[in-house]
Amino acid sequence: LRIAHALNSHLLGALESAFPEAVASARVAGAPLDPQLGPASKPEFGDFQANGALALARPLRLAPRAIATAIVDQLAADPDFGALCLPPQIAGPGFINLTLKPELLAAEVGRRLADPRLGVEPVAPGGAPVVVDFSSPNIAKEMHVGHLRSTIIGDALARVLEFRGHPVLRLNHVGDWGTQFGMLITHLKQVAPEALDTADAVDLGDLVAFYRQAKARFDSDEAFQTTSREEVVKLQSGDPVSRRAWQLLCDQSRREFQRLYDRLDIRLDERGESFYNPYLEAVVADLAAAGLLVSDGGAQCVFLEADDGTASQAPPVIVRKSDGGFNYATTDLAAIRYRFAAPPEGDGARRVIYVTDAGQASHFAGVFQVARRAGWIPEGGRLEHVPFGLVQGEDGKKLKTRAGDTVRLKELLDEAVERCDADLRRRLEEEERQEEEAFISEVATTVGLAAVKYADLSTNRITNYQFSFDRMLALSGNTAPYLLYAVVRIAGIARKGGGDGEVPEVLGFSEPQEWALVRQLLQFDAVIQEVEEELLPNRLCSYLFELCQLFNRFYDQVPVLRADEPARASRLALCRLSADTLKLGLGLLGIPTLERM
Ligand code: ARG
């Protein structure tokens, strides 16, 4: 990226000298000329390609090739440009192909080896926080595979944003409020009244079963229903016993969620729906003041607009139900208002990201629009929904256990680890290798959890994805075991290659396999910035997968440990930078690596 910026300014300079009037008038018109520099579309075109000459043909009334030639002539006269690139080539109707000087690429490899950030520039310090709203399960309800996907994708995005230097608020928007608490509290008061009398933590056992029991009673018992409805009102008005019951239920759920987060090494700050209760009235007041509220059958709504400002076909956003209660959308509106508001009344964020299943897309489109029209989003503020597809079983239907039940996340992770354990023991037996139990358990845990995470991250998140242990645990293909194995392979080379610690000297490369690997390695910073912008972790996965493939091709076809100096040192340096890049990249996906497996 650093080099791309330098090239861009050289190209701009060349444009300026070749066509001073055109550049000046474009600037006056507020449409500065763009050399349209991008990565080369094919390796034989070099490293970069500038397509700007084509767009200039019309305003300059010249053939694009003539324009390209004029630019190239200017570049030839620029010694600083000559230090970066080989003489540019003009191709096709007027594309300028640029190939970086080999010594420059080799020097860049050396620079990255000495840089723990591997060339990824940090953003300026003191920037506004970025909110990542992810995981967000519901109290007392099952945390399902959709929440697992949100947890894994949200964590990876948060890691990338943090690595770039943004202050990130990792918010768990837990569903800890709403009418379901009426029946839960009523049930709790009846089955475990003693829990309400102690100040200690109480183990309520399996909350999912508890929820089912409460629901069954609610559906069959009219008196229970009435009490439950009254209970909602009591809770909302702050009745101490109801509050205590609510707190107990939340604590119990929290402990269960936390076990999963700890296991996956995921940090989240809980800020559930209840946090926004004190701000709900203000939401309604703001919307009324902005003239957006319409009464519809007793409910307070905001009708949506299409992009062109006409009335939208989408259902309105209900802000207050006819019984006076608030809902999921009201809470999300209060959350947006709070997150963008300047401290101390709010978070002062500039970018707010939501990671949920694609089924909630219209909910978010609606509340985002209302927030914008209410004027809560500051200049430059970004609201983004990061949707993902459903997790399906191998039969293409909703993921279920063989017995037809919903899959428990704990059991899903256990199974991944157990399968890795069995695979590893089989491999050790075949290779007649002896390993300690602690080693086996560490490898199985790391690989099993990595496989689950990577499978979630590597598919284009919008599409549904089929959950398959066999596929995610395979040693070949775009899988965590394949990537982790490459790291192990390089660690083995480093052990044999010696020269631990100090940064190896890079003198140059000769083989095409080396150059292909170098070019891939040097794209790391651009990929990270792309993920930061587009919020697609699968881009980073594909990049790392391709890196492994290029590394394996290089290592299989080019001698490293047996090469003569100086090639040996330069090749060891490539191995080392490959390992560093894989480790950092996987780390940003929330996946730790191993030295042996
Ligand atoms: N609790 C919701 C669910 O389980 C997800 C919440 C997502 N975040 C938000 N701000 N709405 O579907």
Q: How far apart are CA 408 and CA 412, in angstroms?
A: 6
- Split at pLDDT 50, 70, 90, the class of 247 is very high
- Other CB atoms within 10 A of residue 431 CB: 8
pLDDT at 56 over 90: no
- The atom number, within ligand 1, closest to the CA of 273 reads 10
pLDDT confidence bin for 55, thresholds 50/70/90: confident
Are the C-beta atoms of residues 527 and 534 closer than 8 Å to each other? no
Q: Is residue 407 part of a domain?
A: no
Query: Could you give the 3-state DSSP secondary structure of residue 199?
Result: coil
Cα–ligand 1 centroid distance for 332 (angstroms): 9
Q: Domain ends where: 77, 100, 123? A: 100
Report, in angstroms and rounded to the nearest whole number, the Rg of the chain calculated over CA atoms: 29
Query: Is residue 363 in a domain?
Result: yes
Copy the structure tokens of residue 543.
């990049």
Q: Which of 20-29, 130-139, 240-249, 534-543 has the lowest mean pLDDT?
A: 20-29
Where would I find the beta strands (DSSP E) of 428-494? Answer: 465-466
Out of 236-245, 331-340, 343-352, pick the least confident.
236-245
* Ligand 1 neighbour 354 (Cβ under 6 A): yes
CATH number (domain holding residue 77): 3.30.1360.70
Q: Mean per-residue pLDDT for 340-347?
A: 96
Q: Is the CB of 136 under 6 A from ligand 1?
A: yes
Same domain, 306 and 216: no
**Is the same domain home to 226 and 246?**
yes
Tell me if 111 is assigned to some domain.
Answer: no
Task: Tell me how far the alpha carbon of residue 583 is from its chain's centroid.
Answer: 17
pLDDT given for residue 398 in this prediction: 81
280 and 254 in one domain?
Answer: no
Whether residue 309 is contained in a domain is answered as yes
The token pair at 120 is: 């990824």
| pLDDT score of 44 | 82
Residue 132 placed within a domain: no
* Protein residue with least CA distance to atom 11, ligand 1: 332
Residue nearest to atom 5 of ligand 1 (CA): 136
For 121-130, letters b (16+ CB in 10 Å) and e give: eeeeeeebbb
pLDDT in tens, 417-457: 999 999 999 999 999 999 999 999 999 999 999 999 999 99
Cα 175 to ligand 1 centroid, rounded to whole Å = 7
| Residue 413 within any structural domain of the chain | no
Nearest-angstrom CA–CA distance, 3 and 9:
10
CA of 302 to the centre of ligand 1 (A): 21
Average pLDDT over residues 128-134: 98
Question: Do 367 and 330 share a domain, yes or no?
Answer: yes
Assess whether 254 and 329 both reside in one domain.
no
- Ligand 1 mean position, distance from CA 468 (Å): 26
**Interval between CA 4 and ligand 1 midpoint (Å):** 40
Ligand 1 pocket member 330 (CB < 6 A): no
| Residue 165 near residue 127, CB atoms below 8 Å | yes
Look at residue 552 in the predicted model and tell me its pLDDT.
97
Q: Which of 173, 180, 279, 363 has the most ligand 1 atoms within 8 A of CB, as the residue to mutate?
A: 173
Contact 358, 388 (CB under 8 A): yes
Residue 192 DSSP label:
-
Whole-angstrom Cα distance, residue 480 to residue 467? Answer: 14
Task: Output the residue whose Cα is nearest ligand 1's atom 6.
Answer: 136
Across the beta sheet with 89-91, the strand order is 37-39, 48-50, 95-98, 89-91
Is ligand 1 within 6 A of the CB of residue 364? no
- Same domain flag for 595 and 489: yes
Question: What is the pLDDT at residue 462?
Answer: 79
Least confident of 82-86, 127-131, 147-151, 407-411: 407-411
Chain segment 191-209, per-residue pLDDT in tens: 988 888 877 777 777 888 8
Ligand 1, from 360, 383, 385, 390: best to mutate by most atoms within 8 Å of Cβ?
A: 360
**Stretch among 132-141, 195-204, 219-228, 421-430 having the lowest mean pLDDT:** 195-204
The per-residue pLDDT for range 166-175, each reduced to its tens digit, is 999 999 999 9
> The complex's ipTM?
0.99
**Closest atom of ligand 1 relative to the 357 alpha carbon:** 12
Residue 257 lies in a domain: yes
Give the mean pLDDT of 489-513: 83
Final residue before a domain boundary, out of 369, 388, 407:
388
Residue nearest to atom 8 of ligand 1 (CA): 173
SS (H, E, C) 333-393: HHHHHHHHCCCCCCCCCCEEEEEEEHHHHHHHHHHHHHHHHHCCCCCCCEEEEEEECCEEC
**Same domain (yes/no): 521, 554:** yes
Q: What is the mean pLDDT of residues 251-280?
A: 96
Question: At a CB cut-off of 8 Å and minimum separation 6, what does 597 contact?
Answer: 424, 443, 446, 447, 484, 485, 488
- Residue 256 CB less than 6 A away from ligand 1: no
| Residue 356 beta carbon below 6 angstroms from any ligand 1 atom | yes
User: Helix, strand, coil: what percent of the chain each, to 5?
Assistant: 55, 10, 35
pLDDT at 501 over 70: no
- Whether the CB-CB separation of 522 and 547 falls below 8 Å is answered with no
256 and 298 assigned to the same domain: no
Mutational test site, ligand 1, from 131, 136, 279, max ligand atoms within 8 Å of CB = 136
pLDDT at residue 149 above 90?
yes
- pLDDT value, residue 500: 60
Q: What is the pLDDT of residue 499?
A: 62
- With 0-12 / 13-18 / 19 or more C-beta atoms within 10 angstroms meaning exposed / middle / buried, residue 26 is middle
pLDDT tens digit sequence for 353-377: 999 999 999 999 999 999 999 999 9
In this prediction, residue 123 has a pLDDT band, given cuts at 50, 70 and 90, of very high
Q: What is the CATH number of the domain that holds 571?
A: 1.10.730.10
Q: Same domain, yes or no, for 566 and 583? A: yes
Residue 142: is its pLDDT beyond 90?
A: no
Q: Are residues 279 and 320 in the same domain?
A: yes
Q: Is 273 in the pocket of ligand 1 (CB under 6 A)?
A: no
In a domain, 574, yes or no: yes
Total number of domains constituting the chain: 4
Atom of ligand 1 nearest to the CA of 332: 10
* 282-303 tens-digit pLDDT: 999 999 999 999 999 899 999 9
The protein residue with its alpha carbon nearest to ligand 1, atom 9, reads 173
Range of the domain at 306: 272-388
Q: Ligand 1 centroid to 454 CA: how many Å?
A: 23
269-270 vs 294-296, strand pairing mode: unpaired
Which residue in 163, 157, 168, 84 sits closest to 118, CA to CA? 163
> Are 289 and 216 part of one and the same domain?
no
- Whose C-alpha lies nearest to ligand 1, atom 4? 137
* Average pLDDT score over residue span 101-120: 94
User: Same domain for 265 and 357?
Assistant: no
Q: Please give the distance, rounded to the nearest whole angstrom, from the Cα atom of residue 94 to the centre of ligand 1.
A: 51
**Is residue 332 in contact with ligand 1, taking CB distance under 6 Å?**
yes
Whole-angstrom distance, CA of residue 186 vs CA of residue 178: 14
Domain closes at, from 270, 292, 311: 270
* Residue 360, domain CATH: 3.40.50.620
